[in-house]
Amino acid sequence: MKQQQPPPLPQTQPPSLSQATTGGGGGGAAAAEGSVVAHAISSLNGNNNNNNNNNNNNAETAKCRPPLYPKPKTPSFDKDRDYIGFATLPEQVHRKSVKRGFEFTLMVVGESGLGKSTLINSLFLGDLYKNRQMPNVEDRIEKTTRVEKKTMDIEERGVRLRLTVVDTPGFGDAINCEDSWRVCTQYIDEQFRQYFTDESGLNRRNIQDNRVHCCLYFVPPWGHSLRQMDLDLIRRLHRKVNIVLVIGKADCLNKTEVRKLKERILQDLEDNHIQLYQFPECDSDEDDDFKQQDRELKASIPFAVVGSNTILEVAGKKVRGRQYPWGVVNVEDAEHSDFIKLRTFLISTHMQDLKDTTQDVHYENFRAQCISQISQHALRERGKLKRDSISSTNGFDAAISETDRLLLQKDEEIRRMQDMLTQMQEKLKQTHLMEMKKNDSVIDV
């Protein structure tokens, strides 16, 4: 199996956590850091003397300074004069990520009693469902699906993970469970919308990522394949979230039944053009063990799991298992269940890819839809404004032409009156001339 080994780093003291499950080692790590820092400062000062006093003084000085980043292994310049230093970039990224911590949100969907909470507790070695209240039969008739969010901070070898489990109690419990999927799609969309709003805001540095990175959908072991309600939900969710199918309580089935159920489920998905989370192709330069593990993980889908939070002793070994009259089901035995494969996939090998797919595929789809809706809305608004301005311009033109028409009418009237006046003046002139001529003739006589 491929070892997922982080680059070697000086140990740093992890910041204290509210519910960190592991503590210990902090003081030692701090001391280690102190000596690394002291050594780095000593080297920076060009002091190669390994004198204890000097080291102590330098360590004192180091306390007052911000911690130094890991000092790259400086090669001997005699050996390699072409060394630039960017080979430490992965270390820088690693250190920054470790400091920041990781966030992962897992949605768990399936009807109650399928072993969801037991499995989550077995996966993350916690007890996320301490105060759970079981609904009675009457409650279930009208029961609506709710969303319940539980967060726990876990730490392993200095790496902090903020795990959020989104449960959907009541899913598929009511007699009419047609709308169970709606609660899930609304929740997923809501988280995307919140992230989109935060990302478009002013303070983008401390955005909390609550987007759902993976949805574990529990299929009951007692059906022949997927039911209509399973298909309804998966069809509506598969373009929004990475869906991973899990056959719960797989100890109810024998090996042949598990194989047949898996085949029929995969066939149903294909017939309905549903695409669940796609495992990325394994890089060709990976070692054979890793490639083999990758093949096995892919071949196990949907994972047939058995969960248990009980530790039993089998042949002198403590195992997580279920005790039956005829024997023990060892949850972590690959012959009994796909539990270990699911845990490897979800936590050790594909957690980051699930996050990347959420960011690059599902969130991008949502973002593209949002942007297209916003631009369509803006276009509609602009069109409306344009229409309004055109109609107001048209009104203005109409008003102008009406005034012009009135003015023209008045002009015409004035012109007519002036004509009449001219005619009258002409007549008066004529009359006056005729009278003058008359008077002249009278005088002549």
Applying CB under 6 A, the residues found at the interface with ligand GDP are 112-118, 249, 251, 306-307
Pairing relation of β-strands 102-109 and 159-167? parallel
Nearer to ligand GDP, 112 or 180 (CB): 112
Whole-angstrom distance, CA of residue 244 vs CA of residue 276: 7
Least distance from C-beta 230 to ligand GDP, angstroms?
15
Least distance from C-beta 229 to ligand GDP, angstroms?
15
Least distance from C-beta 334 to ligand GDP, angstroms?
15
Nearer to ligand GDP, 116 or 240 (CB): 116
Q: Is 308 left (phi over 0), alpha (psi -120 to 50) or beta?
A: beta
Least distance from C-beta 349 to ligand GDP, angstroms?
23
Nearer to ligand GDP, 38 or 114 (CB): 114
The encoded tokens of residue 116 equal 């969801």
Of 193, 355, 196, 167, nearest to 277 (Cα)? Answer: 355
Torsion over CA: 281, 283, 289, 290 (sign): negative
Whole-angstrom distance, CA of residue 149 vs CA of residue 168: 9
Nearer to ligand GDP, 33 or 332 (CB): 332
Whole-angstrom distance, CA of residue 197 vs CA of residue 367: 10
Nearer to ligand GDP, 117 or 242 (CB): 117
Nearer to ligand GDP, 147 or 361 (CB): 147
Q: Which amino acid is at 46?
A: G
Least distance from C-beta 166 to ligand GDP, angstroms?
13
Least distance from C-beta 113 to ligand GDP, angstroms?
5
By beta carbon distance, the residue nearest ligand GDP is 115
Angle at 6 between CA 5 and CA 8, to 5 degrees: 110
Which burial class, exposed, middle or buried, applies to 391 when counting CB atoms under 10 A from its CB (0-12, 13-18, 19+)?
exposed
